[in-house]
Amino acid sequence: MYRVFALCLLLTACQNYDVTLNDRQVYGPARLFTDFEVADEALQRCIEQRIADENISTALELKTLNCSNAGIASLGGLGQFAGLTQLKFSDNRIRNLVELGQLSSIESLWLDNNDVVDPVPLAQLRKLYQLDLTNNPKLQCPNSGLLDFIANLTLPDHCQTAAETSDD
């Protein structure tokens, strides 16, 4: 009985170490999630850093990601992180948002100061309540109704001017 108790104490005290008994591993801590690849090196580095900071061991555990000012041009491969709820990609070079359409759990998304052209893939994100698309000069302004479900929507100045003109 005391041996079992001592073993349990040992296991909790050594939560970051492999514990072996007679050359057999009896305990090993959760390993960081490394079985992923995304198209953009800067995005890869940002995700790897977040995984290390948060001790993330599965793709679904990654909930938030702040990759502002990282030099990211492509979001290819991000769709494998289906648990993401908050994404901050301010001040990058992102143009294509197709990959984001796969991330149905996103609630908050910052894409200000990028090269976004087509916001249509965001219409699939029905949980999205905060979206910032300011300073995307080539953005094709969304048709009325496309993103109306988003409670806190911020569009570039040229879209706000176009909306005011069409109201007249």
Residue 25 belongs to a domain:
yes
In terms of domains, do 24 and 45 share one?
no
Here the tokens at position 161 are 């001017």
pLDDT at 163 over 60: no
CA–CA distance, 156 with 136 (Å, rounded to integer): 6
Residue type, 160: Q
pLDDT tens readout for residues 92-141: 999 999 999 999 999 999 999 999 999 999 999 999 999 999 999 999 99
Exposure string over 126-138, b if 16+ CB within 10 A, otherwise e: eebeebbbbbbee
Other beta carbons within 10 Å of 123: 17
Q: Name the more confident of 20 and 77.
A: 77
Q: Are the C-beta atoms of 109 and 128 separated by less than 8 Å?
A: yes
In terms of domains, do 153 and 117 share one?
yes
Count CA atoms within 13 Å of residue 48 on its CB side: 11
Q: Of 87, 91, 49, 54, which is closest to residue 70 (Cα–Cα)?
A: 91
Residue 3 belongs to a domain:
yes
Cα-based angle 45, 64, 137 (whole degrees, multiple of 5)? 75
**What CATH number is attached to the domain comprising 92?**
3.80.10.10
Structural domain harbouring 14: 1-30
In terms of domains, do 74 and 106 share one?
yes
Residue 143 belongs to a domain:
yes
The label of the residue with tokens 């992180």 reads 81
Count CA atoms within 13 Å of residue 89 on its CB side: 26
Residue 36 belongs to a domain:
no
In terms of domains, do 88 and 6 share one?
no
Q: Are the C-beta atoms of 83 and 62 separated by less than 8 Å?
A: yes
Domain count, the chain: 2
In terms of domains, do 49 and 123 share one?
yes
In terms of domains, do 26 and 45 share one?
no
Other beta carbons within 10 Å of 37: 10
pLDDT tens readout for residues 21-70: 566 655 555 688 888 999 999 999 999 999 999 999 999 999 999 999 99
Residue 55 belongs to a domain:
yes
Residue 35 belongs to a domain:
no
